Amino acid sequence: MAVTIAIFPIVIDTTLGLRSIEPDVMNMAKVMRASRWQILRRIRFPHALPALFAGMKVAISLALVGTIVGEFVAGGEGLGSAILAAQGTFDTAQVFACIVLLGVLGTILFYTIDFLERRLMPWHHSQRLLAIPGE
């Protein structure tokens, strides 16, 4: 369920990133007789990485929500089932504990992707702005 929901923002953002290359860069690569593989590997994919990571950040929250909804509908275990069981017994404290745990889990997953983004794209301008003290 999570993969089904999360794949769409990742694919859409990656496709947008792969297609949003300046024509001058593509013309220069063609003039230098770069193969299609070289263009993909050296120009298109690095240019699409910021869009890919943006899609992954959106997708991680959607995947978390999709997982919980899936557990509400057909799950026997997990936080969604725990929320439903606690709700059925009017155990408000357990419901809120599960919701806080979901928030913590979502935050950890988001910052894991953010960490990977900083490691894989130190050249991107969004990462350089973080490294400049005082700005």
Alpha carbons 60 and 8: distance in angstroms, whole number = 11
**Closest to 85 (Cα-Cα) out of 74, 95, 93, 70:** 95
What is the C-alpha end-to-end distance of the chain, expressed in Å?
41
Q: Specify the CATH number for the domain of residue 46.
A: 1.10.3720.10
What's the total number of domains in the chain?
Answer: 1
Alpha carbons 28 and 56: distance in angstroms, whole number = 30
pTM: 0.78
CB hemisphere CA count around 97 (13 angstroms):
8
pLDDT tens digits, 27-77: 999 999 999 999 999 999 999 999 999 999 999 999 999 889 888 888 778
The whole domain housing 21 covers 2-131
pLDDT tens digits, 82-130: 888 898 899 999 999 999 999 999 999 999 999 998 888 877 776 665 5
Please report the pLDDT score of residue 75 as a whole number.
73
